[in-house]
Amino acid sequence: MRVVVIYKEETDYARQVTDYMRDFERQTGHVLETMNPESGEGISFTGTYDIMEFPTVVALSDDGRLQNQWRGLPLPTINEVSYYVQQN
């Protein structure tokens, strides 16, 4: 499984996202992958998975199939996301 947090760093919600990721790592021992939607990879990724709202948390299977997606605020609970991280 792959969990990706798509967000823009220079926004009013960025602090919430970085706090969430820090808490997630502290509670689970796993680091979430991040992606800037305005980077080359981010543009392709958001187009593939039809992501138009940020922040978005995406859980993907090993073959790239969308398993779950959480759009906007509030962010999902750490337990909701950790389920997908633990599937590795």
Domain count, the chain: 1
How many residues are recorded in the chain? 88
pLDDT digits over 6-55, tens only? 999 999 999 999 999 999 999 999 999 999 999 999 999 999 999 999 99
Q: Give the residue numbers spanning the domain of 49.
A: 2-85
CATH of the domain at 11: 3.40.30.10
Question: From the centroid of its chain, how far is CA 17?
Answer: 9
With H, G, I as helix, E, B as strand and everything else as coil, classify residue 70. strand
pLDDT number for residue 17: 98
